[in-house]
Structure 1
Amino acid sequence: MAKNFLASSFLFLFIYIFIALGVFYKLDWVYNLDKSVISYIQSFITDSRTALIIILTDFAGTISIIILTALTVIFLIYKRMYILSLWFGMTILLGPGIFVYIMKKIVDRDRPGILRLAHVTSQSFPSGHSTAATVFIGLLSIFIILTVHAKWIKILSGVIAFSLITFIMFTRVYLGVHFPTDVLAGFSFGIAVVSLSIALYKLYLDKVKQALFRRNIEDQSPSI
């Protein structure tokens, strides 16, 4: 199964690179896609809807993700799942954290110049909120799907995860702080990160557990 996750990682990384090149070289299809999708999504703007969305979109913001990740890591350490806690924390740090920051500097894309309903100052590509939501929610969802036996829980987990991620992506375009290609790139890269991270966890869990055991450290991280 690790090979399947690796294949998924390469596929979504290819999609991300395809979008990134289109944005970097300002290709026509990027402009046309962004313009049409923004016009459609922002046709739903109302004052009450905007006030609610501004609050909800911050659940995938930097501070919220840091707090949620820290709480998750602390809980896993408490449960003596040391490998799982390190894996989860490092995936969030390297994916939505360091890589997104670097890519924003490289691509250096300005925010949309049209109707903007929230104040932001950093570069636009890729969407940090979309990447963070995809990685954080995606990791939790995939782990639930791979570890529980009840089919309905697997389905429910997948539906909830997809709905939450899609909503966050929608809010970033709705608020005028991102182009659609920003959020699509964030989603694609997020899936690539999740897939690669799961593959590495599956490949190296037993080896790391054995290394810890030789140091008299018993780890309770589950196999997937």
Structure 2
Amino acid sequence: MNKSKKILLGGISCWLAFGVFLFSYLAHASWITALDQWGYHLLQPTTALRTSIYAVITRLGDPTTVFTITVLIGLLCWWRHRLATGGWYLGIQVIGYLLVIAVKYSVVRPRPTHQLVAARGYSFPSGHTFATTLFTLTIITLLWPHLHRRWQRVLLSVVGAVWILAVMSSRVYLRDHYSTDVLAGLLLAAGWWLLTSLIKPRVIK
């Protein structure tokens, strides 16, 4: 199996898994509730210090913050005569988030109650998780060619994974999302990244 087929299979698998979460929620599957409760209790107890830390993390993972930084990256790419590259990453972030909004307003899942940091809109899937995942993958992709040692690439991958997990955890801890919301956001973003990467070579020559 060549690389393109593996990427295609990976993207489809992520979206199929996302579909399982989506339709299981719509069908009121008991395992969705169980997973949500497990994720919430995993992040307890609630303390003032942890709330402050998670509040900072969730602000950094906010789609508006991520989009602003992505625009700056696009401008940097333009300055370095890589306009197509900057436009590509900005485009998949914007179009991808429109996909998130479309799903949110189709599913209309209410957010958890007693939020520690107020959040508006619907809950499924997590926009913070989606935007953060795409942004992290963008940073990794841009830095990867400049890292020539194996340990550097491993470290970058670990830091990226930890950051995505931190944002996901912050959304559940702050009671702005259920566990299944952030997992669905991760799967939707991963699938979107993999599938769009297949057409990237045709856009960026």
Partner of 1:111: 111
- How far 1:63 sits from its partner (Å)? 2.1
Counterpart residue identity of residue 9, structure 1: G
* Cα distance in 2 between the residues matched to 1:154 and 1:195: 19
- Is 1:137 the equivalent of 2:139? no
Paired position in structure 2 for 1:212: none
* TM-score normalised by L of structure 2: 0.93
Stretches of structure 1 lacking an aligned partner (at least 5 in a row): 210-224
Alignment match, 2:91:
90
Once the 2 structures are TM-superposed, how far is the Cα of residue 197 of structure 1 from its aligned partner?
A: 2.4
CA distance in 1, matches of 2:39, 2:152: 33
* Counterparts of residues 4-15 of structure 1 (less than 5 Å): 4-15=6-17
Give unpaired runs (5+ residues) of structure 2: none
In our comparison, the structure showing a higher alpha carbon Rg is: 1
1:167-182 paired onto structure 2 within 5 Å: 167-182=166-181
The one-letter code sitting in structure 2 at the alignment partner of 1:134 is: T
Secondary structure at the residue paired with 1:44?
coil
Work out which of the residue numbers 38, 42, 60 in structure 2 matches 1:40: 42
Residues 67-86 of structure 1 correspond to what in structure 2 (within 5 A)? 67-86=68-87
Matched, 1:161 2:163: no
Cα deviations by residue, 1:88-136 (Å, 9 ceiling, x for unpaired): 11110111x20111111000000113x4211112000000000111111
C-alpha distance in 2, partners of 1:37/1:160?
A: 22
Structure 1 runs of 4+ with >4 Å offset: none
Cα distance in 2, alignment partners of residues 40 and 198 from structure 1: 34
Residue 176 of structure 2 aligns to a residue whose secondary structure is coil
TM-score, normalized by length of structure 1?
Answer: 0.85
Which is further off, 78-87 or 178-187?
78-87
Once superposed, what is the RMSD of the aligned Cα atoms?
1.5
State the 1:158 CA deviation.
Answer: 0.6
d(CA) in 1 for partners of 2:82, 2:8: 24
Residue of structure 2 equivalent to 1:198 = 197
